[in-house]
Amino acid sequence: MPGWIVKTSLCVLILVGVTLLVWNFSTVVDRVFVFYPDRRLRITPAQVGLDYQDLWIETSDGERLHGWLVKAETHAPLLLFFHGNAGNIGDRVENVALLVRAGISVLIFDYRGYGKSSGKPTEEGVYTDGLAVYEYAVKTLGYGPQNIVLFGRSLGAAVAAHLASRVEVAGVILESAFTNLKDLAWVHYPFIPGKFLVKHKFDVLEMVKGMKAPLLVIHGDQDDLVPVRLGERVYGAAPGAKEFYVVPGAGHNDTDVVGGEPYFRHLSSFVYRVTGKS
């Protein structure tokens, strides 16, 4: 076989291999780092002894979001809870219960495509969902912006940061936050040009620059999914009043469990301070 044919064949094989690698990497990033919804609700607040309201919230583009309102007391501040990329609100019931017991009312909801919410998740879609829930809290439930604190964990930190850069709230809590998905891709796949392959941006680093409300950044120092240094960069980029709270020994999804009473004391102190309840 002529040498030029062999070289051409090798080039074609390499090109095909690289193409498959790029496609597979992009697919993995989208599935693991972006959206991993679960439709089945395995638990409700009632199963941990909490009274709650079932909410159905319409978005501006015609989706219907499902959520729960769990009240602590009549005049308690409201925490809008933006959960991470996997599961649904049922997986956060224990966390909600601890927040309510700390004296904070919680409105938690599922993004489009998660739990009972209609549609399929996209970056712009979940931003639209966040705005719809905020407007529902203000216009339908009657909470003033000065009594609302946004709480976003992991992917939810991006949704909360996006919303906080556009509306008035008393405060913002970003937990286990990353800078953007490109940086996160480099952390886990340094040998692949992730910056050119990630479809979604979720640029928290840029969004926090437009926030005006006081900010609390929480991060576990053993987070192996989103290293604490990314949370530190988010904190550094934010203007105005801010604080950084490290939970010793905590990973990506167990800050509330590992942090225990000191964690909830610190969080509730921030919420009550920025809403003027303390």
Which positions are annotated as active-site residues? 154, 223, 252
What are the residue boundaries of the structural domains of the chain, listed by start? 3-274
Is residue 183 within 8 Å of residue 230, measured between CB atoms? yes
pLDDT at 278: 66
Q: How far is C-alpha 49 from the chain's CA centre?
A: 26
Q: How far is C-alpha 226 from the chain's CA centre?
A: 12
Please name the residues in contact with 110: beta carbons below 8 A apart, sequence gap of 6 or more. Answer: 37, 65, 66, 67, 83, 88, 89, 116, 117
Topology annotation, domain 3-274: Rossmann fold (3.40.50)
Tokens 């990353």 -> residue? 178
Q: Which residues of the chain have a pLDDT value below 70?
A: 1-33, 190-200, 278
pLDDT at 18: 43
pLDDT digits (tens, 9 = 90+) for 120-155: 999 999 999 999 999 999 999 999 999 999 999 999
pLDDT digits (tens, 9 = 90+) for 207-242: 999 999 999 999 999 999 999 999 999 999 999 999
Name the 3-class secondary structure at 105: strand
